[in-house]
Amino acid sequence: MFKRLLLTGAAGNLGKVMRDRLAPFAEVLRLSDVKPFGQPRPNEEHVVCDLGDRAAVHDLLKGVDAVVHLGGISVETPFAPILNANIVGVHNLYEAARQHGVRRIVFASSNHVIGFYKQTETIDTEAPMRPDTMYGVSKAFGELLSRFYFDRYGIETVCLRIGSAYSEPLDRRMMSTFLSFDDLTELVRCGLFTKNVGHSVVYGVSDNKASWWDNTKASHLGFVPKDSSEPFRAKVEAAPPIEKDDAMAVFQGGRFVNCGPFES
C-alpha cells in the first residue's frame, strides 16, 4: 500500500471506473482532473488541475508516492488541446515527479500508438510505433518521454497501450481489443507493485480469442488477464457486417486512421 497515490483524469470514463478500484492500494487517494468531480469520499483528496499548468502540476505531485496517469485528451481533436494536455501536460507531470522524488508511474498510453498496423499482423511491444492520429502521436511522445525520464532519472514507468476498456465489446474490432475493467485493474496493480519494471510497455487487452498483440516481452509484469470477449460474440456478430475494406476491418486502429485533420 502506498501512503498517497495520485490518479489523474479522475472525472473521465476510466477514471470514474478506477476510483473505487484504486482505493485499496493507498492510505490516501489523490484524485485530479481539469474540472470538479464531486465531494471527496473518506481517504480521498480532490485537486482541480490543468495538466498544462506547470505550477499547478508541481503542487499536485507534492507528497505523492506513485501516479496512475489517465489524464489528458483521449480522442482525436484539434491539435491545441492535445498539445496542452498530452504533450506539455505529460512533460509537466514527469518533471514534477522528478522534483518530488516520485519513483513509479503507470502511464495510460493507447493502442493508437500502433494503429496503422493491419489486423492481419501480430506485433509485440517492441514493434516500431505507427500512430494513426495526432492523439496517437501524443501518446507515442509520452512513451518516449517516460523512457527518457527512466534512463536519465530512474523514474520507473509502465506504459499501458490500452485497447478498448469497456464493460463489453461494442463492435467486431473490439472482439480483439476488448479490455475488461477487472483486467484493467489487475494490469494497473501489476504496474504499480511489480518490482524492477524499469521502463515497460504492455498491451492492455483481455484474453480474447483473436488478438493482434503479443505481450511476451512484458511477461515480467506478471499480468495474466482473466476475462475474454467471447461471451459477447453472438451479440456483436448479430449487428450488420461491415465492408471488408472499411478501416474498422483493416487497421488495428480502426476508424481512427480516418480521423481529422482538424484545424488547430
Annotated catalytic residues are 135
What are the φ/ψ torsions at residue 221 (nearest 5 degrees)? -75, -20
- CA–CA distance from 35 to each of 51, 73, 204 (Å)? 11, 13, 27
- Tell me the three-class secondary structure of the chain, residue by residue: CEEEEEEECCCCHHHHHHHHHHHHHEEEEEEEECCCCCCCCCCEEEEECCCCCHHHHHHHCCCCCEEEECCCCCCCCCHHHHHHHHHHHHHHHHHHHHHHCCCEEEEEEEHHHCCCCECCCCEECCCCCCCCCHHHHHHHHHHHHHHHHHHHHCCEEEEEEECEECCCCCCCCHHHHEECHHHHHHHHHHHHHCCCCCEEEEEECCCCCCCCEECHHHHHHCCCCCCCCHHHHHHHHCCCCCCCCCHHHHECCHHHHHCCCCCC
Indicate the Cα dihedral angle 233, 183, 82, 69, nearest 10°: 170
